[in-house]
Amino acid sequence: MTEMSTTKDGQPDKADGSDRVAQILSEAERIFARKGYAGASMRDIAVACGISKALLYHHFANKEELYSRVTVGSTDELYLFVRDRVPSGPPSAKIRAFMVATAEYFRRYRWAWIASTTAFWNDPDRHRQKERMTRRDRYENFLRGLIEEAIEAGEIREVDVPMAGRLILSSLNWMHRWYNPNKAMTPEQIADVYFDLVFNGLRAGDISLPAPPPPKPARRKPR
Amino acid sequence: MTEMSTTKDGQPDKADGSDRVAQILSEAERIFARKGYAGASMRDIAVACGISKALLYHHFANKEELYSRVTVGSTDELYLFVRDRVPSGPPSAKIRAFMVATAEYFRRYRWAWIASTTAFWNDPDRHRQKERMTRRDRYENFLRGLIEEAIEAGEIREVDVPMAGRLILSSLNWMHRWYNPNKAMTPEQIADVYFDLVFNGLRAGDISLPAPPPPKPARRKPR
DNA sequence: TTTTTCGCTGACCGACCGGTCAAGTCCGCA
DNA sequence: TGCGGACTTGACCGGTCGGTCAGCGAAAAA
């Protein structure tokens, strides 16, 4: 992906340019993720790549374009990545697959993910921000469609769809703040736990496998 | 809000200093929240306050101290604020109160909240960051204690306590990314919806009556 | 009155920022 | 052998950054 110009013939002998671009994008992801847009300097990125700062401007017009290539690109890919991993089948299984696929994307493109999610407030360019939000909305609307599908199939209650979607996305979007790749749990496993918690709820006495006939007395005081 | 060039603001005496400090903190909150630590300049803050940049350094040693006063202070207050609003009673009601209280804190100290939550990665000072994490942990451990309490009381299933806590906190911590104060729902109502979703789960067929009724969200829209 | 205190300022500093440029190097091709 | 073009660089620019400082002016203290 992200192949650009330099050689139209596609011969692999001269792959220097695109390798550099890929290297720069890779380092830029990490640095933007850790320092944010304003905190990361082009010098930081150049030093991390082991190249001169001028070479950065040979491959990218300016700091903003480099930033956009990192953030907009990954936001765009996220939707396609997830969509292709949601199978046909029961709607609730689709929701679960949506969550696990998002977690897999997070695991595989972690720094770009973090740079993208952090980007929201810090981006000085309104136009790029709007473009990113549009792509983000497509991803979120896809989840809302799955939830509506599950409601119509009778698999989940008639909940507030946008709110249910936000709950699911919040859990996934916040993961990068506490996830430790050295710990045992993989992001996919984390997403699986979240799905169980959100789908089945915390409340006791209604494990999904057996039917729950005994009605429970009211706990909370009604108004 | 408080326009002042030469006192006369309730007291003709020496309220200048602390008023200035409060004003600076108020403006700094907003600017740090919107631009992040690196993106916000001391000049920005000085101009927003209508004072010279030098006066900023008269009241605060440097940028980092001003930043810490905003972020560490609000993180610290959050725990005390929430703790005082969790009543005695059924553990699940405590969890709900915890969530609503957090939402209330968010509504009342929105900019400081955003600055604090955004601060995580961007903070250059490791020591301050560690201090903030310690205070944050106290807040998170408080929630985990409530969850364990609810498990022992048999009100919720034997779930993974840290994960359940993370799910709840994720939903609240992500709220600032999409919350619009001009829209109908208050943060407290949002927290209430989240509690219902997390506590009762999405799954259909086992609605429990004591679910909290207060918010009346518009149901999903027709296709 | 004189002195002290203190909120407050404009001017200034060195460092670093994003970005530019002329020029050098290397390589495929004629 | 020469030519053209992509890759790469060090030096440099105007501007902004965080931070400093001598001193102003009015109120409090003497």
> At residue A181, what are phi and psi to the nearest 5 degrees?
-65, -15
Question: What is the per-residue pLDDT for B74?
Answer: 80
Which of the 8 DSSP states describes residue B203?
A: B
> What are the C-alpha distances in Å from B170 to residues A50, A156, A173, A199, B83?
38, 22, 8, 16, 19
Residue A121, H or E segment: helix A110-122
Judge: A201–B204 Cβ closer than 8 Å, yes or no.
no
Structure tokens, A130: 């709007």
CA distance A17 to A23: 10
CA distance A15 to A7: 8
Query: Does residue B2 or residue A53 have the better pLDDT?
Result: A53
Mutate to test the interface with A, among B95, B113, B170, B221 (most CBs of A within 10 A): B170
Structure tokens, B20: 């200035």
State pLDDT tens for residues B64-119: 999 999 988 788 799 999 999 999 999 999 999 999 999 999 999 999 999 988 87
> What are the C-alpha distances in Å from A130 to residues A93, A111, B179?
32, 21, 17
pLDDT over 90, % of chain B = 69
pLDDT surpassing 50 at residue A15: no
Judge: A203–B201 Cβ closer than 8 Å, yes or no.
yes
Nucleotide nearest to B41 (CA to C1'): D17
Torsion of CA A83, A85, A87, A90, to 10 degrees: -80
> What are the C-alpha distances in Å from B109 to residues B40, B61, B141, B155?
19, 24, 22, 32
Which residues have C-beta within 8 Å of that of residue B10, sequence separation ≥ 6?
A: none
Amino acid at B203: R
State pLDDT tens for residues A126-149: 566 777 788 889 999 999 999 999
Separation of B14 CA and D27 C1' (Å):
10
Instruction: Evaluate whether A138 touches A77 at the Cβ level (below 8 Å).
Output: no
Question: What is the per-residue pLDDT for A73?
Answer: 77
Domains, chain A, in order of start with CATH, read 68-200 (1.10.357.10)
> What are the C-alpha distances in Å from B31 to residues B40, B57, B77?
6, 17, 20
Alpha helices by DSSP H, listed for chain B, are 16-39, 42-49, 53-59, 63-83, 91-108, 110-122, 126-152, 161-173, 187-200
